[in-house]
Amino acid sequence: MTSNLFRKKSITQSLEHDSADANGLRRSLGAANLVGLGIGAIIGTGIFVLTGVAAANYAGPALTISFVISALGCLFAGLCYAEFASMIPVAGSAYAYSYSTLGEFIAWFIGWDLILEYLFAAGTVAVGWSGYVSSFFEGIGIHIPYSISQSPFGFSTQEGWYMTGSIINFPAIFIISLMTVLLVLGIKQSATLNNIIVFIKVAVILLFIGFGISYISVDNWVPYIPEETSPGHFGISGILRGAGVIFFAYIGFDAVSTVAQEAKNPQKDMPKGILFSLLICTILYIAVTAILTGMVHYSELDHPAPIAYAIDKVGGGLQWLSPFVKIGAIAGLSSVVLVMMLGQSRIFYSMSRDGLLPKLFSGVHKQYGTPYKSTILTGSVSALVAGLLPINILGELVSIGTLMAFVIVCVSIIVLRKTNPGINRPFRTPWVPLVPLLGAGICLVQMISLPWDTWLRLIVWMAIGFVIYFTYGIKHSKLNIK
């Protein structure tokens, strides 16, 4: 049993499996598409939604420091991802990498963790999308009833779980359903739409930065690091917790690695897609956070559409930008839902192809060349999550899942350098083991700073995964010894 738990799928096996699969995924994405997918996933809820939540509840104006801390962790993890993505260019991201380095049980562990990450990421973004859609329609005189535009369940550290009085978040369900249909129709079409959306939302963000800087009140930055009110709320501990919460904002480059099997030249283009998208988005995040907390006092930013709220709050000569920001946010959040669901369906596809999940999840549509069954399942579960749960719970769950994935990828680089030093590495992570250790360390610190309730939910989720693995996955694995 123990030997089965840690059996490994060699890199050669992974690559041969990919090339031998005539009915597999189609290689149709270039470097520009990969960078676009990264930006499409990164710029979304993190900048349009969670900036307000994290500033108001955790870090205040010092949220800019939180973004720097998260960016450093992402940079180190991103360098590790880039090596793996160029070396093992198959679907599955960290799941596939750990299968070749740490063994099947750890691969299942991280695969199940990635399912949590992407399913809840799509749900989190869809809830943010719903908030901006409601705000946009309100601005043009159309009111979407509260009862069908909010989660029926709420959660706060003071009150715990409570009923909001709403029935369901219908707009959130709608956008997930729409993106599900698009993803079934084809990866190339999905990537093209994503590129168009990326252009729109980056343009809107640059407009906000360019014009919003004139409306900054320095008084809103005082104190820059608010005094700690309780552990994790303001002060240094609040900055760290804020970094852990908004880490969710950076998971886009992780999503890029899930489509390695659909890249035309993965060895060359995957590192570009990962690192360029991360660099561009980090600069934009820090600039937007500084301007947002300068325009409006951080205590007022606990809002599902904080940038739109800030523009409406200062009013006057900036009011003309409000509808553009809302349109940009709606479009931008749509692309994040698209990429998160894309990543999730590819995780299902990869795990199913290895036998750890039922075969139906690796079924590829003959006409569209997409894993349509896993895409439809992903859409169904994400829609349910988005329709029922509040954004703060979803965001924290995604963050802890992402951080865990990054820790394992960083450790895997060190392991593989020791166990297989001679393998071809088109891109090499610099300064190993220093960079992987720094990446794992920063991610672990942010995980520790997250609330205990978030850890408890993660433990429950992983326990469910272990039951599935030991009752199904270990028996049906393609590596199972006959």
Of 375, 252, 259, 294, the C-alpha closest to 60 is: 294
Of 344, 381, 423, the C-alpha closest to 91 is: 344
Distance CA 72, CA 58 (A): 19
Distance CA 94, CA 114 (A): 8
Q: pLDDT tens per residue, the chain (482 residues)?
A: 556 787 888 777 766 655 545 455 667 778 888 888 888 878 876 787 778 888 999 999 999 999 988 888 888 988 998 888 888 877 677 788 888 888 899 889 888 988 887 877 788 788 878 887 887 888 788 888 888 888 887 776 666 677 777 888 999 999 999 999 988 887 667 778 878 888 888 899 999 999 999 999 999 999 999 999 888 889 999 998 888 777 767 776 777 777 777 788 877 888 888 888 888 988 999 999 999 999 999 999 987 678 888 988 887 788 888 888 888 888 888 888 888 888 888 888 889 988 999 988 888 888 777 788 888 988 898 888 888 877 666 666 777 877 888 888 899 899 889 988 888 888 899 999 999 999 999 888 878 877 787 888 889 889 999 999 999 999 999 887 54
Predicted TM-score of the model (pTM): 0.79
pLDDT at residue 20 in the model: 47
Distance CA 389, CA 25 (A): 33
Angle at 158 between CA 152 and CA 162, to 5 degrees: 20
pLDDT at residue 134 in the model: 85
pLDDT at residue 430 in the model: 93
Distance CA 336, CA 204 (A): 16
62, exposed or middle or buried, with CB in 10 Å at 0-12, 13-18, 19+? buried
pLDDT at residue 22 in the model: 44
Structural domains in the chain, sorted by start: 20-476 (1.20.1740.10)
Q: What residues contact residue 479 under an 8 Å CB cut-off, 6+ apart?
A: 7, 9, 104, 354, 355
